[in-house]
Structure formats: C-alpha cells, structure tokens
C-alpha cells in the first residue's frame, strides 16, 4: 500500500466526525484523539464547515492525518485540498469524484459494497476502499465473500462499528482500519468530554494491537 494507506492501517481506527461548531470544538477534539493514540480523523461534510474544521485540526496537531468524509462533489475536494486535508472519503462510488481526486493527487476512499463497485475501484487502481454502511450491507461476512474475487483490496468498514465488534473486524487481514463514530458522538463533542473521547480511543487502540499481536 502507499504511505497514506499504510499510515491509516497502522492506526487501525478512523473516527468519523460531524462537527457542528468547528471554531469551538475542532482543536480540543484533535488533541483528545491524539492523546488517545488515534491521530487520524475523517471530518464529514454532513455539517457545514468541514474544511474549516480540517484546517483548525491540522494547525493544532500538524502530524495528524485529517481528511474529509461524505464528499459528494468536486468543489468539496478543492476546499479540502486548499486547507491541507490529507484524504477524501465518499459514501458511494462516484467515478467523477474518484477521477478528480486522483487528478488532484489526493488519496480517495470511495464507498463500495457490491462486486460491481469493487470492479470499478479496480479499474481506477485503488488499494483501499471504504465499505459503507458496513453492518447494514452484510458486515464482515460480505467483506470476506467479496475478498475472494478481489483479493487486491484492503477494506475500511464504516457503519455499525463499535467497541463490541471492533475486534471481530480488525482481526481479519482484509481489514486495514475501521471507521466509527462511537468515540466521537454528538454528546461527547458538544459537551467537550475530551477525556472520555481519549479513553475511547485508548480502548480502541488496545483492541487493535491485541487483535494484530
């Protein structure tokens, strides 16, 4: 895998974040994630100002990997690149989004849950793809099934991942990392419960390290 994919895989978990108040919460959140051993974040465009949040998080923690999620148009890609974002995640496979991100030289992880989408990803030369929504789309059993005809992919399942099933997913060699919002819920962020977020991240990293030992 390339350097970005390898770095994300090494961490093993990717917090999927909706920030309603970037100016208030981005810096504290970035520091909480890094303190928990999870220096990576997918800041989604489900809330306005995702690019602003990425900029603030990168400024606060320069070594942190911070990308954008729920990217659905090329203008958002331009906005992410402008603030130094590290990667793009789209909920589904949109050839225009993938092609544009590759043209701009920023890693892109499109959502793929079918053989047809995997095949498209193969044509674009991707190594790491998002599997979303994971649990609702067949979970680990379907990921295993799709890996038979497509062994070249590493997968980042997102959707329905928690501390309860993280070990099951991350123990499978097909899984590069798991995306999740359980450690960055609205309650934790909006109430600035940074210590709890850090603790959730530490528990996640312990599970990853134990599974891969």
- Catalytic residue annotation: 42, 130
CB 60 within 8 A of CB 41: no
Tokens of 87: 């990667």
The H-or-E segment that residue 69 falls in is strand 65-69
- List the one residue out of 77, 84, 87, 124 whose CA is nearest residue 109: 87
- Concatenating the DSSP letter of every residue in 149-185 gives T-TT-EEEEBSS--TTTHHHHHTSTTBS-EEESTTS-
Q: How many residues does the chain have?
A: 213
Q: Which whole-number Å values give the CA distances from 113 to 62, 90, 94, 119, in the listed order? A: 33, 13, 13, 11
- Could you report how far apart the first and last alpha carbons of the chain are, in Å? 20
Handedness of CA 186, 16, 176, 39 (dihedral sign): negative
Place of tokens 């100016």: 23
């Amino acid at each position: 895998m390339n350097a970005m994919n390898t770095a994300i895989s090494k961490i093993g978990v990717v917090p999927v974040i909706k920030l309603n108040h970037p100016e208030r919460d981005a810096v504290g959140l970035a520091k909480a994630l890094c303190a928990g051993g999870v220096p990576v974040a997918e800041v989604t465009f489900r809330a306005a100002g995702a690019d602003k949040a990425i900029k603030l998080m990168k400024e606060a923690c320069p070594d942190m990997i911070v990308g954008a999620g729920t990217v659905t148009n090329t203008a958002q890609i331009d906005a992410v690149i402008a603030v130094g974002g590290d990667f793009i995640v789209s909920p589904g496979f949109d050839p225009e989004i993938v092609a544009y991100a590759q043209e701009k030289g920023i890693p892109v992880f499109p959502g793929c849950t079918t053989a047809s989408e995997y095949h498209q990803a193969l044509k674009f030369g991707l190594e790491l793809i998002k599997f979303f929504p994971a649990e609702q789309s067949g979970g680990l059993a379907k990921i295993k099934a799709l890996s038979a005809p497509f062994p070249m992919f590493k997968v980042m399942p997102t959707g329905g991942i928690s501390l309860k099933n993280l070990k099951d997913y991350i123990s499978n060699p097909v899984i590069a990392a798991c995306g999740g919002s359980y450690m960055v819920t609205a309650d934790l962020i909006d109430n600035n419960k940074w210590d709890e977020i850090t603790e959730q991240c530490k528990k996640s990293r312990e599970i990853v390290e134990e599974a891969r030992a």
